Chains A and B, each alone.
Chain A
Amino acid sequence: MMEIKSEIAKMVKDANKTVIIENDDDFDRTLDEIGLDSLDFMSILFSVQEKYNISIPDEDIDGLNTLNKLIRYIDEKK
């Protein structure tokens, strides 16, 4: 999971350079709270699908509103 966490942090930076993840607490804040909008998240989801060869259906997206939830989702699916 640490490896996934590191990759997600990198994907966040690629999606939006202005978003800074400073500590572990940021992974439990909502995407909106850390400054990611819908387009940023779309980019992150694309990167996740490509990197981990998983499919993330539209209906699952609403439940992935923090980075930790996304990380756990990836860990379960891969």
Chain B
Amino acid sequence: MIGIDNIGSYIPHNFESNFDKKIKLNIEDDFIVNKIGVERVSRKLSDEDTSDLCVKAFQRLRGKTCSQFKDVDCIVVCTQNPDGNGIPHTSAVVHGKLGFENNCACFDISLGCSGYVYALSAVQSFMASNGLRSGLLFTADPYSKGINPEDKNTVLLFGDAATVTHLKEYEGEKIFWRPRRFKFSTFGKDRDALNNRNGFIFMNGRAIFNFVMKNVPVQIKELLKEESLSISDIDLFLFHQGSRYMIEQLRRLLDLSRKKAPIQISQYGNTISSSIPLMFETYLNSNKLKKIVMSGFGVGLSLATCIFINQS
């Protein structure tokens, strides 16, 4: 059985304050703090590429554990902003920079905000069906590579970060979290709501908001019903951190308390596929949490929800 053992993360210590952009973009403090919920966005350093963010996340992970990671046999990077032009794949670059053994599968997954949930399923299944025992799933999607500084819809929102999730084959030692069930959806007809236009990230905020409000609660309720669970059976909902307002509206539609559906976005922004694992890292060692739901949604338009169980 493959499960999540640990998570490491890296947020570049290079920030842009949204308060400094108030006059230029004609916005108020209340909008920054209470609506978008992002007070500052993180930006990768000029000499950092996507693989470097991954390497730093791994170094932070290694610093947290006794594990030597000598037996890593699977490396996956979830990104839509790879190193260079995507050739070679960023996971191979990470493999080379970290000096892992050659008997290691490496591939990239091209997904955005739904990416962590999709990738957990893909990597866990890949490892299980191929007898692999120690996998590193990276999320690193620096949108700063394509942000238009004049675009209020994106420059205030997206931040750079990377995470790494260590997935291990259970051998009788304690594994914290294992997957119970996943559910996936795609709305390709609405793909133009978030795309790259002439090198810049474009986002139709209203279309994304409508997509999330219409489809995320439905998918969550369907998944829970299929597993004979109710919302009250779930201890924690980790939503992709699109914006403070979006999470507050999801809380309202699903009748969730603040504690049950936390918001963690103010100090670095919407970090795409890293937003869920950044929060999950905070709760990973909690013995009080038995069942959690993670739901990622965004570019594609793509949506994925999963239930994870605390095995310990």
Contacts and interface: CB of A to CB of B under 8 A. Distances in A.
A43 B252 CA distance: 12
Interface in A39-56: 39, 42-43, 45-46, 49-50
Interface string A42-75: 1101100110000000100000000000000000
A58 B206 contact: yes
B31 A46 contact: no
A37 B28 CA distance: 11
Interface string B243-263: 101000100100000000000
B31 A37 contact: yes
A76 to B, nearest CB: 21
A28 interface: no
Interface residues of B, number: 12
B214 A50 contact: yes
Nearest to A43: B249
A11 to B, nearest CB: 11
Interface in B196-223: 205-206, 209-210, 213-214
B210 A49 contact: yes
B210 A37 contact: no
Contacts of B243: 39
Interface residues of A, number: 10
A46 B35 contact: no
Contacts of A46: 209-210, 213-214
B288 to A, nearest CB: 30
Nearest to A49: B210
Nearest to B246: A39
Contacts of A42: 205-206, 209-210
A37 B249 contact: no
A43 B214 CA distance: 11
B35 A39 contact: yes
Contact of B252 (A14, A37, A39, A45): A14
Interface in A16-48: 37, 39, 42-43, 45-46
B35 A43 contact: no
Contacts of A58: 206
B209 A37 contact: no
A39 B210 contact: no
A36 B243 CA distance: 17
Contacts of B210: 42, 46, 49
A39 B245 contact: yes
Q: Among B205, B206, B209, which residue has the most Cβ atoms of chain A within 10 A?
A: B206
A43 to B, nearest CB: 6
B206 A45 contact: yes
Contacts of B249: 43
A44 B206 CA distance: 11
24 contacts: A14-B252, A37-B31, A37-B35, A39-B31, A39-B35, A39-B209, A39-B243, A39-B245, A42-B205, A42-B206, A42-B209, A42-B210, A43-B209, A43-B213, A43-B245, A43-B249, A45-B206, A46-B209, A46-B210, A46-B213, A46-B214, A49-B210, A50-B214, A58-B206
Given A39-B245, A43-B249, A46-B209, 18 more contacts: A14-B252, A37-B31, A39-B31, A39-B209, A39-B243, A42-B205, A42-B206, A42-B209, A42-B210, A43-B209, A43-B213, A43-B245, A45-B206, A46-B210, A46-B213, A46-B214, A49-B210, A50-B214
Interface of A: 14, 37, 39, 42-43, 45-46, 49-50, 58
Identify the 7 closest CB pairs spanning chains A and B, nearest first: A39-B245, A39-B35, A42-B206, A46-B210, A46-B213, A42-B209, A43-B249
